[in-house]
């Protein structure tokens, strides 16, 4: 547990019990540490009544306000807390019911210690397969809620017309195929951004190019990509419409691979360093679902090959989508909400 947990525990718990005595803390909140957390949880929150959104700080509160989302500021003293990260040190009272869910699809790195999950009353994994992995590691609070962030791609909320209009709004060519480049955090040891950030415009005569980066990406790469006039660098954390627009993705070891896999479109990945966080299972998954390259010089020919040979990946997509998401039916938000209500109703 982080040091601030122990620093906050006594004063926070005393305040919580005082408020509880006067029945001032009956609410259920969603704790939003980053704006991205809201995007991940939105389709769950839509199925829950009387949820208060609480921002970690004024920066996040302002980001939510800009999107028309009302929120309160931490500290608060609720009865139940839903979050998409392991931020339980902000709520160090044993009487609070804690519910966690993934902020990314599946686990694209080694799971953290089981006590981090077992500190929750419920932790929602993205599939039954992931729950079984969690149980084998001593995690007792895991249940499958799916990955609600993807629901809108499968329940009709994002239409083909909306995607076409978005493409026009971005001033992308209607005759070119669209490629989306993605990279995980450069300091993770698993990123391949250094292999393409300075050469990406070379593909812009043939393809529409969109780029989405990990939120913590170093400014060096962000600033260099901002200078390039022939690509579109995403600022929006809500990437799903852009993934739906893209015909192919180029990535490394980012969990966004799972989202693109769910959409059943061609993937190319750069081979990256083997680091302790990158498990053998995930390394094999990435290898199976994608066409892999070592460097940028291989990319153009591999793009053509990936489009032509994509059917070779059908069996892998079927296998891994069932492992990562159970059924992709557009109802993961509802499923997760029902599991959350079971915990709330017991409190």
Domain 3-151+329-344 has CATH 3.40.50.11720: yes
Q: Which residues contact 152 (CB under 8 A, 6 or more apart)?
A: 43, 158, 240, 330
Average pLDDT along the chain: 94
Give tens-digit pLDDT for 256-284: 999 999 999 999 999 988 888 888 999 99
* Calculated CA dihedral for residues 328, 215, 102, 255, nearest 10 degrees: 50
Output the pLDDT for position 277: 84
**53: confidence class by pLDDT, cuts 50, 70, 90:** very high
Give tens-digit pLDDT for 201-225: 999 999 999 999 998 999 999 999 9
Output the pLDDT for position 261: 97
**Would you say the CATH fold of 156-325 matches that of 3-151+329-344?**
yes
**Nearest CA among 167, 214, 176 for reference residue 303:** 176
Structure tokens at 285: 């998954």
Domain 156-325 has CATH 3.40.50.300: no
Output the pLDDT for position 208: 97
Residue 135 parent element (H or E): helix 128-136
**236: confidence class by pLDDT, cuts 50, 70, 90:** confident
CA-CA-CA-CA torsion sign (134, 120, 239, 152): positive
**Residue 23 pLDDT exceeds 80:** no
Give tens-digit pLDDT for 88-114: 999 999 999 999 999 999 999 889 899
**Nearest CA among 279, 305, 344 for reference residue 122:** 344
Give tens-digit pLDDT for 25-44: 789 999 999 999 999 999 99
pTM of the model: 0.93
Dist CA 285 CA 45 (whole Å)? 31
**Residue 2 pLDDT exceeds 70:** no
Output the pLDDT for position 237: 84
**194: confidence class by pLDDT, cuts 50, 70, 90:** very high
Q: For the chain, what are the domain ranges?
A: 3-151+329-344, 156-325
What CA–CA distances, in Å, run from 45 to 52, 149, 271?
10, 11, 37
Residues in the chain: 347
Q: Are 45 and 336 in contact (CB under 8 A)?
A: no
Give tens-digit pLDDT for 131-177: 999 999 999 999 999 999 999 999 999 999 999 999 999 999 989 99
């Amino acid at each position: 547990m982080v040091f601030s947990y122990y620093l906050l525990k006594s004063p926070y718990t005393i305040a919580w019990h005082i408020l509880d005595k006067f029945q001032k803390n009956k609410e259920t909140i969603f704790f939003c540490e980053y704006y991205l957390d809201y995007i991940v949880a939105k389709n769950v929150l839509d199925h829950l009544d009387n949820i208060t959104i609480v921002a970690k700080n004024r920066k996040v509160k302002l980001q939510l306000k800009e999107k028309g989302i009302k929120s309160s500021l931490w500290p608060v003293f609720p009865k139940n807390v839903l979050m998409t990260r392991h931020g339980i040190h902000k709520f160090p009272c044993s009487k609070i019911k804690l519910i966690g869910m993934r902020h990314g699809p599946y686990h694209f790195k080694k799971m953290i210690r089981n006590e981090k999950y077992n500190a929750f009353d419920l932790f929602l994994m993205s599939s039954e397969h992931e729950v079984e992995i969690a149980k084998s590691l001593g995690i007792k609070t895991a249940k499958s809620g799916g990955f609600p962030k993807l629901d809108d791609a499968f329940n009709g909320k994002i239409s083909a017309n909306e995607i076409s209009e978005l493409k026009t709004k971005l001033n992308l060519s209607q005759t070119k195929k669209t490629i989306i480049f993605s990279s995980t955090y450069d300091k993770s040891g698993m990123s391949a951004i250094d292999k393409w950030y300075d050469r990406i415009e070379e593909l812009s005569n043939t393809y529409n190019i969109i780029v989405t980066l990990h939120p913590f990406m170093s400014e060096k790469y962000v600033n260099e990509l901002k200078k390039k006039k022939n690509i579109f660098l995403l600022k929006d954390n809500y990437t799903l419409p852009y993934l739906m627009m893209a015909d192919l993705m180029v990535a490394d070891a980012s969990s966004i691979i799972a989202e693109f896999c769910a959409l059943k479109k061609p993937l190319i990945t750069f081979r990256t360093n083997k680091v302790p966080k990158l498990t053998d299972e995930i390394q094999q998954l990435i290898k199976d679902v994608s066409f892999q390259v070592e460097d940028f010089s291989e990319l153009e020919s591999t793009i053509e090959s990936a489009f032509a040979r994509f059917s070779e990946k059908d069996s892998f997509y079927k296998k891994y989508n069932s492992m990562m998401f159970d059924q992709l039916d557009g109802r993961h938000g509802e499923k997760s909400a029902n599991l959350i209500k079971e915990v709330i109703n017991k409190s």
